[in-house]
Every structure is written in C-alpha cells, then in structure tokens.
Amino acid sequence: MMTQAFYTGLTGLRSNQTAIDVTSNNIANISTTGFRGNRVEFSSIFEEAINAVSASSVNNSIGIGTVVNSTQMIDGVGGLKLTENSTDLAIDGDGWFGVKNSRNETLYTRAGDFVFDKNSDLTTNDGMYVLGTMTGNIDGTILKKKVEQTQLGEISAQESLRFPNILTYPAIATQNSKFSGSLHMNDGDKNIFVTSVIDANNNKNSLKLEFTKAVPQVLPGMQWDVVASTISSDGKTVYDTKNAVALFDAKGAMISNTFTTIDNNGSAVKIDLGSEFNGVISNRSVQPMVSHSDGLRAGDLVGYDVNSNAEVIATFTNGEQSSVGKIALFHFQNEQGLEQISSTKYSSSSNSGEALFLKDGDGNSVYGTDVLNFTLESSNVLLSNSLTELILLQRSFDSNSKVISTADQMMQKALDMDA
C-alpha cells in the first residue's frame, strides 16, 4: 500500500504539472490575437479490480493515480475588437485562414492580423503568404477588366495572394454622348453644347455641337443645322467634323436628326440628341443644356484594401475600384485533430482530415460564416477561469507532493521497525 501511495502521488505530480504548464500557457497568451486555449483531460490508472460483496454488488477498483489522457483545444470564438485596418480580419464562427510558410507548407490560423508587405503581397505579420483565390483580371501591370465580386474557387486552386505594386486601370474610350436642353429661339443665335470625350489613348478631348436655325424655315415645325466637331484639349487639333440637320415639330419635340457617329482620334462616338421631348427640344421653355458622355480616363493604383466580403480591392486615381482576389476560409471534419505548430498556427493531420470548403446548394464554395474586416479575434481564454483553474491545480500538485512525502516517511518507519 505504501508503494501504491508513492506511485499515486508521483503520477499526480506529473499530470498536474502538465496541466499547470498548459494553463500557464493559456494565461501567457491571453492577449495573443486568434489564440485558442487548451484544456487537459485526465484518466485513472487501475491496478486491479475488487469485487465488493454488498447488497448493491458494486464493483470497486484500486487505482494507482492519474495520467494525462489528452490535451483538447477550447472551442468557441474569442472576443471581437475593432481596429483601423481593413486587413484585420476575424472569423465570427467556424473556419480557419490558410497561410503558407517559407518551406511551402500550408498552415492554418485564426489570427487575421494581415498586412500588405512592401511587394503588395498579403501576408501575416511574420511574413507568411495568405491563401485565397486570385480573380485573374491582372495582366502584368494592367487591369484587364473591372470585377465587382470574386467567387471563391476550388480548394485545389488556392494560392498566395500576391499583387503588383504598379497597376493601371486602362482608359475606356467614349462610345456614346447624349445631349438635352432647350435651344434658344432668337434668330441668328448659335446654341453650343460641349462635352468631354475620352479617346483610346487616354486623351480627354472635346465634342462640340453648334446649332443654327436653317434658312429658310419650313412651317409648321422648325429645322436646325448642326455642326459637330471633336477637338483636342489644347484646341489645336480637330479630329473630325460632321454636319447634320435636326427636325422638330410645331411643339418643339425632336422628330429626327441625321447624326450617326463622329471620329474621336480613332474612336467612334455616337451622338444622341434624344427623341420627342426627351433630349434636345426647340421651343420657348427654358431648360439647361446638359450633356453626358461615357468612357473613362486611365487611373493609377492608389492601393489595396480588404472589404467586408474578405475580397482584396484595388483602388485607382480615376475613382474606380475592382476586386482582384478573395481570401480563403478552410474547414475541417475534426478541428480537435489539428496539430499545434505555434501559439496561433496549426497543421492538418490524419485526425483532423484534409482541409475542405463548404458548398451551397449549387455546388459553389462558400464561407459558411461571416468574416469581418476592421476586426480582430482575441484569445478565447477567460482569464478568471484560468486563474481559478491554476489555483486548483497548484493545490492538487501540493497534495500529491504531500502524498509522496507521507509515503516516504511510512516506508522509512517500516524499515526502522525491521532494524
């Protein structure tokens, strides 16, 4: 029995020391972003079973202590705190961000304190690349097309989110120019409309329309001669000139005009004067002359941000934005089977299973939870609980230490009695 007491105390010391180490590590990481705490589970070591003869016929056993059975990850989302950085992300539910280290190994983390490094690559604070879906709309330093939203691709297609430092939003040549407003009715007056038009070379030119009353007028309606010109911004170059006639009825509504398109330094622009009372009119009403042209000047990259859909957004000096990537969110059949590599990073194992994506009813990859930007997830360890647990474990450790001391004293006395 004295030997049994000795081993009972010894196993208790070992088990409690492991639990103290785990709890102390939880407390030490109370301020670590995305940290998930651990708890220790114990099991008893049985030496032999004794059948106790009693009215209840209870089976009893003699144990020789405890052993650490496993260390389990604490489930649950940590507290969410707001930040000023769009690249700070928090998962409000299940899921893991994927990152790739210098050895090209994929690790998983809840810590979403990401940054764009000097190369405009999205990385962790310790330099690991964040994984996700590249939109595929960048060709070298040119944005091929504007994309409103990037869909998460297949899990096998996830890659490091790396973007160019220099990126240009190409010019979009003007294709349509629309005009509206009332023409002044005074004889001899010219009515002039001017709008800006963009050519394929990113030049901002002018499209000018000059309305002059036709002579003679044929009643009951009214006729106007129109001259359209495309002119360079400095006024030195006229790219094209077109003449047309605009016909209006007795009430001033547009009946027809002979405009088609005009050349804008190599780009064709359609001239739209409207129809009936929707556009240019010819009567005594006072409506301001208004013109609008599509097209867009080229823009240079201002920078990258992450939006509320966890997409990487490129912003340009011309005011345009485009999605260029989407951060991936991984799931596992058994999160408890993940192997902890560092305080916030884990690797998959045979127990956790391979990483997977959730699917919607149409088979598209989805997050299955919310990812919040301008937000970080705090440690999911409660300090008050951990401190209480640490006190209990320390007392248990002391008790097991006393058991060993008592067993040692008893064995010494037994030896003395033999002498």
Give 346-397 pLDDT, tens digit per residue. 999 999 999 999 999 999 999 999 999 999 999 988 877 777 877 776 776 6
> Do both 96 and 138 map to the same domain?
yes
Q: Could you tell me how far CA 108 lies from the centroid of its own chain?
A: 16
Q: How far apart are CA 102 and CA 41, in angstroms?
A: 35
**Residue 44: predicted pLDDT:** 62
CB 233 within 8 A of CB 203: yes
**Residue 383: predicted pLDDT:** 75
**154-176 tens-digit pLDDT:** 999 999 999 999 999 999 999 99
**54-72 tens-digit pLDDT:** 445 455 555 566 666 667 8
First to last CA, the chain: 20
> Do both 209 and 277 map to the same domain?
yes
> Do both 211 and 249 map to the same domain?
yes
> Do both 124 and 216 map to the same domain?
no
Q: Residue 269, CB half-sphere, CA atoms under 13 Å: how many?
A: 37
Give the residue from 274, 296, 298 showing the smallest Cα distance to 197.
296
> Do both 272 and 283 map to the same domain?
yes
Per-position DSSP letters for 81-131, written without gaps between them:
EE-S-TTEEEEESS-BEEEE-TTS-EEEES-EE-EE-TTSBEE-TTSPEEE
**64-110 tens-digit pLDDT:** 666 666 678 888 899 999 999 999 999 999 999 999 999 999 999 99
Six-digit token string for 330:
């991984």
Instruction: Please count the structural domains in the chain.
Output: 3
> Do both 106 and 198 map to the same domain?
no
Give the confidence band of 288 by pLDDT, cuts at 50, 70, 90.
Answer: confident
- Exposed (0-12), middle (13-18) or buried (19+): which is 30, by Cβ within 10 Å? middle
2-28 and 383-418 helices, crossing angle to 10° = 160
**200-209 tens-digit pLDDT:** 999 999 999 9
Classify 346 as helix, strand or coil. Answer: strand
Q: Tokens 């959730």 map to which residue?
A: 358
Six-digit token string for 20:
């103290």
**Residue 188: predicted pLDDT:** 67
Residue 78 has a CB neighbour count (10 Å cut-off) of: 22
Q: How far apart are CA 192 and CA 207, in angstroms?
A: 10
> Do both 212 and 262 map to the same domain?
yes
Q: How far apart are CA 106 and CA 98, in angstroms?
A: 7
pLDDT of 122 over the 90 cut: yes
Q: How far apart are CA 277 and CA 179, in angstroms?
A: 12
> Do both 116 and 86 map to the same domain?
yes
Q: Write out the residue range of the structural domain in which residue 335 sits.
A: 82-169+300-377
Helix H or strand E segment including 17: helix 2-28
Please state the pTM of the whole predicted model.
Answer: 0.79
List, as own/partner pairs, every contact residues 359-365 make where C-beta atoms lie below 8 angstroms and the sequence separation is at least 24, other chains included: 364/151, 364/152, 365/151, 365/152, 365/153, 365/154, 365/155
> Do both 28 and 94 map to the same domain?
no
Task: Tell me which of 293, 321, 345 is where a domain ends.
Answer: 293
